[in-house]
Amino acid sequence: MEFAITDWKLLQLTLDEVGPFRSEPTTFSFLGDTAPLGTPEDEPPGPSNLYMLIAPNGKGKTTALEAIYGLFALFNRTPSGIFADPNAGGRAQLDVRGTWLVDGATRPVVLSIWTGAREPLVAWSQERLETEAEASVWARLCLTVIRGEVQLLEESNDLGRLLFRSLREALGESPTETGSAAERLPTVLYFPADRSVVAPTERRIVASPACWGYQPAHRFSQDGPDWESSIDNLLVWLEWLDEAQLKDLLQRLNEHVFDEGTEKLILRPDRTHLLTLVSTPTGIHPLASLSHGERSLLQLFARVFTQSTRNTVVLIDEIELHLHTKWMHRMFSGFKHILEETRGLSLIFTTHDRELIEVFEYERPESGLTKGGFLIRKDLA
């Protein structure tokens, strides 16, 4: 069966009895507030591809990202995340709009993934599908975990089951530039707030990175010290696996990580010592010699460039961590460029720093960017 997805964008997330969202169901709308530059004034912005969730600590912004990751992590070979525990309680539903190609027929679809209850938290009538989502079909996927295994409940329909089966069949498929089935399927790349950059241990071998291969949901926290979880290992692996892919990756990393005029350049790994080096004005140094800001940007961009499919949602919790203002501007500039050239990519990030609103440039129309946001609580420091 021919199956592919394009134009994959989140519509909304609804949580009930999850984390701090206890009194009543809470819905986060991912529809944009600022349309891309050049959009006609009477045309609504549509779903965001750049979205900011802002709130003080402890008010639920991390819970929202954990819920998105957790729903997609139920598709992984081993379910993980906050909904993998059958005793966790609570209900959650994620609604996504995409264009689905099934056996030569193309149609706009709203997919609802939910857990914690038989019935969906939000129902989509035919009228609502057409008016609010410009879609024609509602795909339903009701998931639960029983004895460590994910089960599809009977409230799921054929389209929902098709997606679940397709994602499971593509598990572990190696990333390539074009042509793989996994690249036509969705994935979530989650960078939690506990991410950090630590130089790897000296146990250097040619080994597949811990995150290599397609998964519907990836979680990237600490980069190192384990060799398998380090960016160093990722670059060494590509040196042996795919020279063309490595060349393209290094070109993109050097473009997005370093400011113009710094005269820094990440070089191809040394095969003899399995070591990635950086050329700087002061000489040749190991990758670990980069500043913390540069290593933080390297971690984000390297994972996005190597693990994205054509339908990717990037989640970054407390985006300001590890980055001073200079690096924050550098990161936003890089992501805006990537979002503009990559239609199937979306970035959702959280912060409690009001100064980031200025860096985000929330109300300024920009080419290729549909911007949105949600303020959970106004009492920010």
pLDDT surpassing 70 at residue 176: no
Q: Which of 123-137, 242-256, 300-314, 323-337 has the lowest mean pLDDT?
A: 323-337
Confidence check: pLDDT of 223 > 90: no
Distances (CA, A) of 190 to 222, 324, 347, 349: 12, 21, 10, 10
Q: Hey, which of 41-55, 152-166, 175-189, 215-229 has the most confident mean pLDDT?
A: 152-166
Mean pLDDT score, 204-225: 88
| Position 206 in a domain | no
**Two tokens at 89?**
């309680």
Q: Residue 381 — very low, low, confident or very high, per pLDDT cuts 50/70/90?
A: very low
Look at residues 177, 165, 342, 170 and name the one whose alpha carbon lies nearest to residue 256: 342
User: For the chain, how many structural domains are there in total?
Assistant: 1
| Residue 351: per-residue pLDDT | 85
pLDDT value at residue 361:
81
- Flag whether 381 is in a domain: no
Residue 245 included in any domain: no
Higher pLDDT, 377 or 18: 18
pLDDT at 379 over 60: no
Specify burial of residue 211 (Cβ count, 10 A radius: 0-12, 13-18, 19+): middle
User: What confidence tier does 178 reach under pLDDT thresholds 50, 70, 90?
Assistant: very low
Q: Confirm whether 240 is domain-assigned.
A: no
**Whole-prediction pTM:** 0.94
Tell me which residue of 151, 120, 157, 152 sits closest to 138, measured CA to CA.
157
Nearest Cα to Cα of residue 133 among 180, 98, 170: 98
Position 300 pLDDT exceeds 90: yes
Q: Using only C-alpha atoms, what is the Rg of the chain?
A: 21
In a domain? residue 200: no
pLDDT score, position 241 = 87
* Domain span including residue 139: 3-195+216-225+308-375
Q: For residue 110, is pLDDT > 90?
A: yes
Q: Is residue 254 part of a domain?
A: no
Distances in whole angstroms, Cα of residue 181 to Cα of each of 4, 169, 188, 324: 8, 9, 16, 39
Domain-located, residue 181:
yes
Q: What is the pLDDT of residue 179?
A: 39
The residue behind tokens 């990202």 is 65
What pLDDT is attached to residue 376? 65
DSSP state of 350: E
Phi/psi class of residue 78: alpha, beta or left (left: φ > 0; alpha: ψ in -120 to 50)?
Answer: beta
- 289: amino acid identity, one letter: S
Supply the pLDDT for residue 31: 94
| Cβ(93)–Cβ(122) below 8 Å | yes
Confidence of residue 156 (pLDDT cuts 50, 70, 90): very high
Per-residue CA distances from 122 to 15, 33, 117 (Å): 10, 22, 12
pLDDT confidence tier of residue 291, bands split at 50, 70 and 90: confident
The residue-averaged pLDDT of 258-275 equals: 88
Q: Does some domain include residue 146?
A: yes
Mean pLDDT of 14-43: 90
pLDDT for the residue numbered 104: 87
The span from the CA of 47 to the CA of 33, in Å, is: 9
Residue 115 — pLDDT band, cuts 50, 70, 90? very high
pLDDT of residue 82: 93
101 dihedral zone (left: phi>0; alpha: psi -120 to 50; beta): beta
